[in-house]
Amino acid sequence: MDPGATGGGAHAPPPMGHQPPPPHHQPQMGGAQSDGIISDLRLSVIDVLQDYGWFIVLGCAITYIVYNKITANLNTPSLSRGSSGGGSNRSTTPEDADKILERQERIAAARAKMQAELDKKVELEKEKLREKGEQDRENKIQQWENLQSGKGYYSKMKSPATDADSTNDEKLEAELRSKVAAKTLANPKRQR
């Protein structure tokens, strides 16, 4: 007798072609499957860029240029549009031309006035620079003359008032010398 037919305790091998599913086998949604989708998408994007990259770049450039042209045309006011609202298409009237001309003349006059003010300021600054240069030159000449005459060089930190005081001191010193010289001439014994 066949041991599997009697229903004894032995297990029979499973029939051919039918295998039991592995234990706890459930399809996983998420991790491994989403990584496959992302890598497939990435590869397909790279393939498209490799095949049609220059066409895409050219298309983007043309789209950018067209977009700029359209927005520039929409943002600039045209003369055919009426300024008093509405979409009335009327040509410029002589009154409008006169107003435009008058406005341009006012703008030109304002620009000329501002330019004249700027020119005055520039002239004042030039004059100040000339005066300062002349003053510096005179100071240098005075210093050179003082140095040549034996008065010596005075510090630039001193004020001009101290310069006047030094000349007064020099006068007093010269008077004292002359008095001392007069006394020594009158009393020759003291000289020895």
DSSP secondary-structure letter at 53?
A: H
Confidence tier at 151 by pLDDT (50, 70, 90): confident
pTM: 0.30
The ranges assigned to domains in the chain are 37-77, 100-150
In a 13 Å sphere around the CA of 62, the CA atoms on its Cβ side amount to 6
Q: Which two tokens stand for residue 8?
A: 């004894």
Predicted confidence (pLDDT) per residue in 96-147, tens digit: 889 999 999 999 999 999 999 999 999 999 999 999 999 999 999 988 888 8
The pLDDT, as a whole number, for residue 31 is: 52
The pLDDT, as a whole number, for residue 159 is: 56
Give the separation between CA 49 and CA 28, rounded to whole angstroms.
32
Q: DSSP labels for 90-155?
A: -PPPHHHHHHHHHHHHHHHHHHHHHHHHHHHHHHHHHHHHHHHHHHHHHHHHHHHHHHHTT-----
- 3: part of which helix (H) or strand (E)? none
